[in-house]
């Protein structure tokens, strides 16, 4: 009976020692790695959701004609008579789906004199 109890005691101690040796062989845990799941993953998820939203360019109208942003950049300042900026509901009311990103309505001196 004494031999059996010694064998049990040796097995128990050996398994405990082996677990401790395995723990000592593992690299130490980094606090940043633990907090990554709590902080980085939700921030990354929010960033992806926000950046996935579509960005709507404003509708640019020059004397009632739709123009591109490049052409708008090259308009001479002296020829502008009036600029009107519409946002939100007012833009979509006047210009429908094209105006959902807002509208910039530019009237030149040539068009206003006609």
DSSP code string of 5-33: HHHHHHHHHHHHHHHHHHHHHSPPPPHHH
Tens of pLDDT along 61-86?
A: 999 899 988 888 888 888 889 899 99
pLDDT of amino acid 83:
92
Work out the pLDDT band at 11, boundaries 50, 70, 90: low
**pLDDT band at residue 2 under the 50/70/90 scheme:** low
Phi, psi of 64 (to 5 degrees): 85, 0
Instruction: Name the residue with higher pLDDT: 30 or 58.
Output: 58
What does the pLDDT read at residue 14? 72
- Tokens encoding 49: 């959701």
């Amino acid at each position: 009976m004494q031999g059996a109890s010694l064998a049990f005691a040796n097995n128990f101690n050996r398994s405990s020692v082996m677990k401790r040796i395995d723990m000592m062989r593992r690299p130490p845990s980094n606090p940043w790695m633990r907090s990554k799941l709590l902080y980085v993953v939700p921030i990354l998820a929010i960033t992806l959701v926000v950046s996935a939203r579509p960005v709507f360019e404003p509708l640019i109208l020059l004397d009632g004609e739709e123009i591109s942003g490049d052409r708008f950049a090259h308009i001479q300042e002296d020829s502008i008579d009036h600029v009107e900026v519409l946002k939100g509901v007012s833009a979509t009311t006047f210009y429908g789906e094209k105006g959902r990103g807002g509208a910039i309505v530019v009237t030149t001196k040539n068009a206003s004199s006609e």
